[in-house]
Amino acid sequence: MISAGDFRNGITIEFENNIYQIIEFQHVKPGKGAAFVRTKLKNIINGGVVEKTFRPTEKCPQARIDRKDMQYLYEDGDLYYFMDTENYEQIGLNADSVGDALKFVKENEMVKVCSHNGNVFAIEPPLFVELEITDTEPGFKGDTATGATKPATVETGAVVYVPLFVEQGDKIKIDTRTGEYLSRV
């Protein structure tokens, strides 16, 4: 159990039969009346964000989230298969639970599978990936004063906006949290 006075960003709690992660919290002491804690909570199952206020003495059970490194094997229809590299067990997850987390992940790369009480709710890709550009238009000379970009398709099929000097066949580094081009490799 964790009291509302001990809330911090990133803590996961069980509240109203749901699992929430604290995105933002603020201790408020009004001039009149009792103090309270104002929070923004993100439902980790469906992604919805709600705002709740708690008295500092209220207690919530702290949720245990398991993050396990697994290898992404392949996609078969709407199922995605992952393997635990320690005991070689495989699990298949449907497209709903995977979402678009794998748009920058190639087969055989490591990802983190997040679960609560054995129920997988999210896939966390590596923070940075290196992918090869499979299709992009040639850049135009002289149009670089504005920091212009062009769309480029990478080997996983995702589209990334890259600077004009990047060509087809180049390997680039991408931040998977934002989907932004970082550099050539």
pLDDT computed for residue 51 by the predictor: 92
pLDDT above 90: percentage of residues in the chain: 4
Decide if pLDDT at 145 tops 80. Answer: no
The answer to whether the predicted template modeling score (pTM) of the entire model surpasses 0.75 is: no
Angle at 151 between CA 144 and CA 172, to 5 degrees: 85
| Distance of alpha carbon 88 from alpha carbon 84, whole angstroms | 5
At 102-144, the pLDDT tens digits run 888 888 888 888 888 877 777 888 888 888 888 888 876 665 6
pLDDT computed for residue 141 by the predictor: 64
Query: Domains, the chain, ranges and CATH?
Result: 2-60 (2.30.30.30), 66-124 (2.40.50.140), 128-184 (2.40.50.140)
Residue 161 near residue 154 (C-beta atoms within 8 A)? no
For residues 82-93, give the mean pLDDT.
87
* Residue with tokens 């992940």, as numbered in its chain: 105
Decide if pLDDT at 74 tops 80. Answer: yes
DSSP per position, 21-85: EEEEEEEE--SSS--EEEEEEEETTT--EEEEEE-TT-EEPBPP-EEEEEEEEEEETTEEEEE-T
For the sheet containing 12-15, what is the strand order?
A: 12-15, 18-28, 36-43, 49-54
Decide if pLDDT at 42 tops 80. Answer: yes
Report DSSP state, residue 113: E
Tell me the CB-side half-sphere exposure of residue 121, using CA atoms within 13 A. 17
Which residue has better confidence, 87 or 47?
87
